[in-house]
Amino acid sequence: MMKEFITDKVNYFYKSFLVWRIRNVSDSQFMIFMSFIVGLTCGLAAVVLKNTVHYTYMFITDTKWFAVDNTNFLFLIYPMIGITITVLIIKYFIKDNLSHGVSRVMYAISRKKGYIKPHNCYSSILTSSITVAFGGSVGLEAPVVLTGSALGSNLGRLGRLDTKKTIILVGCGAAGAIAAAFKAPIAGILFVFEVLMLDLTMASAIPLLISAITASMIAYFFLGYDLQFDYSLTEGFELVKIPAFMFLGVFSAFVSFYFLKINKAISKFFMKLSMWRKIILGGLTLGVLLYFFPPLFGEGYTFLGDLLNNDTDSVFKNTFLYSYRTNTWMLLAILFAIIIFKAVATSVTTSAGGVGGTFAPSLFIGGFTGFFVGKLINMSGLLVVQETNFALVGMAAVMAGVMHSPLTATFLIAEITGGYALFAPLMIATTISYIVVKPMNRYSIYAEELALEGNLMTHNKDKTALQFIDKYKLLETNFITLYSDDTLRDIVQAVQKSTRNFFPIIDKDNTFLGIVVIDDFRPLLFKPEYYDVYGVKDFIRYSEHFIVDISDPLEEMVSKFRGADRYTLVVVDKGKFVGFMSRANVYAEYRKYVSEFSEE
């Protein structure tokens, strides 16, 4: 009784709030309030996640075995523990797919009208923190993006907002998540426009700004004012070094392409395995990689930060190669191996059942790639460059190639490192990386699978608009139906009652058989002597090119209008006649939707 009483009271106050809101608060004002709430919750979610991972990692590595000058056998078992716990939580408690967080947000925008399940408000944080803390070689940013977007989606539905505003709040959640994770509000906003492909209008820009700023302020309040990477620029940009940064852009493009392909290949291989085989094979593979290359553990930001400060000794810590840390050729070999195996470790982690994203791995690989290229250039004697600058620019270049987001990458690296003086080389390298990798791999790591499945609408505005149009509202049903055994007399009677110039023909079970067009029997309309001579069968037309099923996506239906003489389509439901759909009505509804969605 008490539970029912509390539920009734909550429902009463909730409905009262909705009524009050509709009467006293405009939609634009309410969106400002909701975007602030989304930013606030995203900021708190990012803080909780980062602290959970940090303190869990400190707990499991606070042992006497973790010494810099010897190997650590615990690296062999930690990943399997983390992946096993993650998989069991997903299988028995969450019971849903959590992988590829950004892709799931894009799918929600493309196919679900912004709907993301409520459990995503917490499930990605829980599982990704376990995966990463125990060594899963992935990042936390994509789970935070899914969490923030889920918060935006569910708050939008609680506020009874329409599809357009709900999708904007989904974008607010993504922007807030990136802004809080990196303390980079500009990068968060650019991420939404460049990766999620949300339309840039004042209606969307203002809420995104509010969420991003709010989330980043929460991160600053709880995590301090330090930048993500403590980087000191000791050498500015010089024009003579442009060719070197161009070379870095090209090299980063091929590294990005390798990352994309190895991720796809490993994912495809693991799909054939059972759950426990995935865990065992993935855990063992990852454990061995971490044993030989400890920088692959977790996000790897600590090692990346050391590299940006020219501390190369850190890549040898906890390995049997520690005594070779002053050998330049051994350093190059280790850097190259880490670049190659980080992509493998990331793909194995997610394919085996771990939860995490590719944000951190792309930055990590990019940093090591840049440092590697800088070291090679210096060893060649052709030019003297600052290797840490190349590490910083490489972070942006590889990220731009993997995510197909040169603007986001440029501003993100500038924001999280304070390296604004390197804007020119950042833009040069990211642009070249994107231009080179785009023809080799058309879609980003987030969009490729959705595109292959036909579920990528965010990158095609026409498809996006058609996705949100209710096709049932486009159906025209005010037709007089005829049967296959009807005579011309029946047709004439139908003509007298109808305002249409064609008639659908069905059988007794409502199965569509074809149409008759008034032009075909017009000469016989005023000749009663033929009324019982001719029948429907003498005039019936049928063509599968004019028929669509009601279950077909609207974009597939519209594609059939491309024929020069196709102005109307027959709509059936598993062969049963439903109605007609006209090209004029579809295009009118399309123009109406685009106009409303673009309002500012």
Q: Give which of 236, 258, 234, 249 is closest to 373, Cα–Cα.
A: 249
Within 10 Å of residue 600's Cβ, how many Cβ atoms?
8
Sign of CA dihedral 459, 43, 408, 124: negative
In terms of domains, do 154 and 194 share one? yes
Q: How confident is the model at residue 254 (pLDDT cuts 50, 70, 90)?
A: very high
Same domain, 140 and 171: yes
User: Domain tally for the chain?
Assistant: 3
Q: Which of 125-134, 281-290, 371-380, 554-563 has the lowest mean pLDDT?
A: 554-563
pLDDT computed for residue 596 by the predictor: 58
Query: Which tokens belong to 478?
Result: 């005010």
In a domain, 72, yes or no: yes
Query: Are 505 and 531 part of one and the same domain?
Result: yes
Higher-confidence position of 175 and 26? 175
pLDDT at 262 over 90: yes
In this predicted model, which residue has the larger pLDDT, 297 or 9?
297
Enter the DSSP assignment of 591: H
Q: Is residue 230, in this structure, part of any structural domain at all?
A: no
Contact of 356 with 132, CB cutoff 8 Å? yes
DSSP class of residue 222?
Answer: H
What's the CATH code of the domain at 470?
Answer: 3.10.580.10
Pairing verdict, β 482-483 and 502-506: parallel
Q: What is the pLDDT of residues 177-207, one digit of tens each?
A: 999 988 889 989 999 888 887 766 767 788 9
- 72 and 195 share a domain? yes
Burial 473-509 (b: 16+ CB within 10 A, else e): ebeeeebbebeeebbbebbeebbeeeebebbbbbeee
Mean pLDDT score of the chain, rounded to an integer? 83
Task: Note whether 283 and 83 are within 8 A (CB).
Answer: yes
Do 75 and 138 lie in one domain? The reply is yes
Residue 506 · residue 595 · CB < 8 Å: no
- Check whether 582 has a pLDDT greater than 90: no
Domain assignment present for residue 334? The answer is: yes
Give domain status of residue 9, yes or no. no
Q: Are 445 and 560 in contact (CB under 8 A)?
A: no
C-alpha closest to that of 433 among 413, 405, 472, 392: 405
Do 323 and 177 lie in one domain? The reply is: no
Long-range contacts at 220-227 (CB < 8 A, ≥ 24 apart) = 220/183, 222/43, 222/47, 223/47, 223/50, 223/183, 227/183, 227/416, 227/417, 227/418
pLDDT at res. 37? 93
Give alpha helix (H) positions in 159-274. Answer: 163-182, 185-194, 202-223, 242-270
Let me know whether 333 and 381 are in one domain.
yes
> Residue 283 pLDDT more than 80?
yes
Task: Confirm if 514 and 541 have CB atoms less than 8 A apart.
Answer: yes
Single residue among 442, 459, 476 that ends a domain in this structure = 459
Domain assignment present for residue 115? The answer is yes
Q: Which residues contact 347 (CB under 8 A, 6 or more apart)?
A: 262, 263, 265, 266, 267
Whether 280 and 380 share a structural domain: yes
Spatial CB neighbours of 320, under 8 Å, sequence gap ≥ 6:
70, 71
Q: Are 429 and 245 in contact (CB under 8 A)?
A: yes
Helices (H), 25-118: 27-61, 78-89, 101-111
The boundaries of the domain holding residue 302 are: 239-459
pLDDT at 548 over 60: yes
> Residues 287, 367: one domain?
yes
- Domain of 275, CATH number, reads 1.10.3080.10
CA Rg value for the chain: 30
For residues 452 and 484, membership in a common domain is answered with: no
Give residue-wise pLDDT tens across range 372-423: 999 999 988 888 888 888 999 999 999 999 999 899 999 888 887 766 778 8
β-pairing, 547-549 vs 576-582, is: unpaired
Q: Residue range 242-252: average pLDDT?
A: 94
> Whole-angstrom Cα distance, residue 341 to residue 347?
10
